[in-house]
């Protein structure tokens, strides 16, 4: 299906100035769409297939930016923090400042000490869909626990999590019963947990509710999108079209 956007909006997003600057540029005849001079700034173009040139130079079109980061521990999932480095500080200036009109944001958050898959985008619609409590997108975590858990207790905890478990209150949230979650054990201290909601400190609170403590936490997938394990902690890259389709 064609994804149509107004030419002036597209050019403004790609760094050609304000909508007023862009209007002037288009009226000057410097802009071509699919090889034809276009003097109509509110023309709708298909951002997946249109070829746009300004003063003879092709403009590589991208409707939105989608980035996966392998978040490292010690950085805050926020735009600003008075104390710690933030995940935005890890991005190159070219990513932070180019054609983003201030709309680059995170799709969900990870705790200061949590590592793994973190998404950034300029696509508010996708963010809304992925973070809406109605969507129930799965999030997969790799967990290391403080205390070894016997085989018998492992089975009990799987059953408790599958049913939904009452977790205690946290600084930011009252106690609540979790949605059913899927736990699979790797050994006595390592497990993978799939949850379908994203409450504050949820994974840590779930294991605290069974008298254990998470000592290492990494998000490895969101829905069908898996973390690219070749990204070193703190590194990031754009999503491929196939990966984006997995999220859509
Ligand atoms: N659950 C947590 O407890 N922490 C995270 O960072 C993510 C999920």
Answer yes or no: is the C-beta of 113 below 6 A from any ligand 1 atom: no
pLDDT of the residue at 99: 46
pLDDT of the residue at 63: 66
In this structure, the answer to whether residues 47 and 83 fall within a common structural domain is no
Phi, psi of 106 (to 5 degrees): -90, 145
3-class secondary structure, 2? coil
Does the predicted TM-score (pTM) go above 0.95? no
CA of 3 to the centre of ligand 1 (A): 35
In this structure, the answer to whether residues 188 and 237 fall within a common structural domain is no
In this structure, the answer to whether residues 203 and 147 fall within a common structural domain is yes
In this structure, the answer to whether residues 126 and 72 fall within a common structural domain is yes
| Ligand 1 atom at minimal distance to the Cα of residue 201 | 3
Closest CA to 196 of 243, 161, 171, 156: 161
C-alpha R_g of the chain: 22
In this structure, the answer to whether residues 155 and 218 fall within a common structural domain is yes
CA of 202 to the centre of ligand 1 (A): 5
pLDDT of the residue at 60: 73
User: Between the CA atoms of 156, 143, 207 and 72, what dihedral angle is there, to the nearest 10 degrees?
Assistant: -170
Its domain, for residue 95, covers: 66-134+225-247
pLDDT of the residue at 173: 86
Answer yes or no: is the C-beta of 114 below 6 A from any ligand 1 atom: yes
To test the ligand 1 pocket, which listed residue (72, 110, 144, 192) has its Cβ within 8 A of the most ligand atoms?
110
pLDDT of the residue at 97: 57
111 catalytic per annotation = yes
CATH of the domain at 191: 3.30.70.1560
Answer yes or no: is the C-beta of 111 below 6 A from any ligand 1 atom: yes
pLDDT of the chain, 248 residues: tens digit per residue = 677 889 998 888 777 888 888 999 999 999 999 999 999 989 999 887 899 999 998 887 766 789 999 999 999 999 889 899 999 999 987 676 554 555 788 999 999 999 999 999 988 889 999 998 888 899 999 999 999 999 999 999 999 999 999 999 988 889 999 999 999 999 999 999 999 998 999 999 999 999 999 999 999 999 999 999 999 999 999 999 899 999 98
Contacts of 154 (CB under 8 A, 6+ apart): 185, 188
pLDDT of the residue at 120: 94
| Ligand 1 atom at minimal distance to the Cα of residue 198 | 8
């Amino acid at each position: 299906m064609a994804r149509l956007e107004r030419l002036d909006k597209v050019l403004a997003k790609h760094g050609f100035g304000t909508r007023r600057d862009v209007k002037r540029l288009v009226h000057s005849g410097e802009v071509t769409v699919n090889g034809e001079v276009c003097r109509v700034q509110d023309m709708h173009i298909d951002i997946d297939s249109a070829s746009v040139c300004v003063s003879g130079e092709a403009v590589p079109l991208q409707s939105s930016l989608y980035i996966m980061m392998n978040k490292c521990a010690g950085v805050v999932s926020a735009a600003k923090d008075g104390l710690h480095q933030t995940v935005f500080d890890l991005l190159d200036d070219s990513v932070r400042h180019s054609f983003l009109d201030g709309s680059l944001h995170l799709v969900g958050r990870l705790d200061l000490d949590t590592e793994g898959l973190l998404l950034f985008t300029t696509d508010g619609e996708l963010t809304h869909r992925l973070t809406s409590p109605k969507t129930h997108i799965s999030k997969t975590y790799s967990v290391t626990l403080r205390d070894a858990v016997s085989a018998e207790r492992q089975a009990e905890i799987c059953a408790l999590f599958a049913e939904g478990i009452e977790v205690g209150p946290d600084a930011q949230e009252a106690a609540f019963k979790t949605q059913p979650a899927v736990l699979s054990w790797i050994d006595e201290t390592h497990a993978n947990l799939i949850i379908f909601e994203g409450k504050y400190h949820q994974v840590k609170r779930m294991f605290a509710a069974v008298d254990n403590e998470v000592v290492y936490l990494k998000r490895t997938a969101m829905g069908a999108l898996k973390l690219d394990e070749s990204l070193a902690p703190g590194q990031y890259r754009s999503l491929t079209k196939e990966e984006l389709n997995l999220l859509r």
